[in-house]
């Protein structure tokens, strides 16, 4: 860690103690941010950790819907998102109003929302899911038809793993769509021994070329358990930091330098320190929406990991 980072990290850690705060970071965060976090994980792991922490303040190093989910789960805690502009373009591809219109067309069809959605959208949904439990969540529902929002690609992947009829919303992750089949074909030639793991937000042509389709938490577990020494990683670049740190003897090949989520990179050590000093920007979900959204999130948490 560079001097400046070390200095900032020290200040953050001491202020964090005084504030009784916990730092939760997503696997896509900058390396220096992951290094100062109390917990680094996928969307499900982060929600589970928010649910069980005894800290009074949660510094959420991730994007807006993740901080909102923490606020939904822990209304009594102060949830801070060090850069309020860290949003998720996919989550912004659906609104509660548009979802309500769609539900009018499909009155008996349950709605499963990907956690990458706003609190208002969660409030309009029957159950939430993450990439770590999406198939299990969808299978827990009795109807054959399911309205899945907002990720078309995750929804399509689930449809290949179940016999449900999935009605899909046309949302997508711009970062994962930059991963193309040609990237994997080239890397397979270059690293013939490697295993290829990809995220289910990728397009079907990419998923078809992978050995494993995993959430980011699933990727970290896979990397630790596999005998394979070379792994091609088809997701956002930030995860490579954690994979390397936890598996020093293995080689991780990132699929494309274009697979970077600019929103995840908005959280920096400077902003975390500022956020702790100012106790801002706070993310707080209004109580009426929170209670409805919590029902969908709680149902998912009862199901746990897939
Ligand atoms: P997971 O870490 O839950 O697999 O999700 C990835 C993601 O895109 C978060 O925005
Ligand atoms: Fe949203 Fe994609 Fe960034 Fe995840 S990687 S936060 S889905 S834009």
Query: Residue 116: CB within 6 Å of ligand 1?
Result: yes
Residue 2 has pLDDT above 80, yes or no: no
pLDDT tens-digit series, residues 194-229: 999 999 999 999 999 999 999 999 999 999 999 999
Give per-residue pLDDT as tens, 34-84.
999 999 999 999 999 999 999 999 999 999 999 999 999 999 999 999 999
pLDDT of residue 1: 57
Q: How far is CA 237 from CA 5, 35, 181, 221, in A?
A: 20, 16, 17, 17
Q: Is the dihedral of CA 285, 289, 294, 297 positive or negative?
A: negative
Ligand in closest contact with the CA of 132: 1
pLDDT tens readout for residues 292-306: 999 999 999 999 998
Over residues 241-251, the mean pLDDT reads: 98
User: Does ligand 1 lie within 6 Å of residue 215's CB atom?
Assistant: yes
Per-residue pLDDT, 96? 98
Of 269, 204, 259, 208, give the one whose Cα is nearest residue 233: 259
Q: Does the beta carbon of 130 lie inside 6 Å of ligand 1? A: yes
Which pLDDT score, from 0 to 100, does residue 282 have? 98
CA 26 to ligand 2 center in whole angstroms:
11
pLDDT tens digit string along 126-167?
999 999 999 999 999 999 999 999 999 999 999 999 999 999
Please tell me the pTM assigned to this model.
Answer: 0.97
Tens digit of each residue's pLDDT (9 = 90 or more) over 278-288 = 999 999 999 99
- For the chain, percent of residues with pLDDT exceeding 70: 100
pLDDT for residue 254: 98
Q: How far is the CA of 176 from the centre of ligand 2 (A)?
A: 8
Around Cβ 189, how many Cβ atoms within 10 Å?
A: 8
Measuring from each residue's beta carbon to the nearest atom of ligand 2, which residues come in under 6 Å? Answer: 63, 88-90, 116, 173-176, 201, 236, 261, 263-264
* Sequence-ordered list of residues with C-beta below 8 angstroms from that of 226, at least 6 positions apart, any chain: 195
**How far is 269 from 29, CA to CA, in rounded Å?**
11
């Amino acid at each position: 860690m560079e001097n400046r980072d070390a200095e900032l990290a020290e200040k953050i850690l001491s202020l964090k103690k005084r504030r009784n705060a916990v730092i939760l970071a997503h696997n896509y965060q900058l390396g220096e941010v992951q290094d100062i976090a109390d917990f680094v994980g996928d969307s499900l792991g982060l929600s589970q950790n928010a649910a069980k922490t005894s800290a009074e303040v949660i510094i959420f190093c991730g994007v807006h819907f993740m901080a909102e989910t923490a606020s939904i789960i822990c209304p009594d805690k102060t949830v801070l998102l060090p850069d309020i502009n860290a949003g998720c373009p996919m989550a912004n591809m659906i609104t509660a109003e548009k979802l309500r219109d769609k539900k009018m067309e499909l009155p008996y069809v349950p709605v499963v929302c990907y956690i990458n959605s706003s609190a208002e959208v969660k409030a309009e949904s029957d159950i939430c899911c993450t990439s770590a439990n999406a198939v299990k969540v969808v299978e827990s529902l009795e109807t054959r038809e399911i309205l899945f929002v907002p990720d078309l690609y995750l929804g399509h992947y689930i449809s290949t793993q179940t016999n449900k009829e999935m009605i899909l919303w046309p949302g997508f992750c711009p970062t994962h769509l930059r991963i193309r089949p040609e990237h994997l074909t080239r890397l397979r030639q270059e690293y013939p021994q490697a295993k290829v793991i990809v995220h289910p937000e990728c397009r079907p042509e990419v998923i078809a070329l992978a050995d494993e389709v995993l959430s980011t938490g699933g990727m970290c577990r896979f990397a630790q358990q596999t005998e394979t020494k070379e792994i091609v990683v088809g997701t956002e670049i930030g995860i490579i930091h954690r994979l390397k740190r936890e598996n020093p003897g293995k080689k991780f090949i990132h699929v494309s330098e274009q697979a970077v989520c600019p929103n995840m990179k908005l959280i920096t050590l400077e902003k975390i320190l500022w956020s702790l000093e100012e106790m801002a920007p706070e993310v707080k979900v209004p109580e009426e929406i929170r209670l409805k959204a919590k029902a969908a999130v709680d149902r998912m948490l009862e199901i746990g990991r897939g």
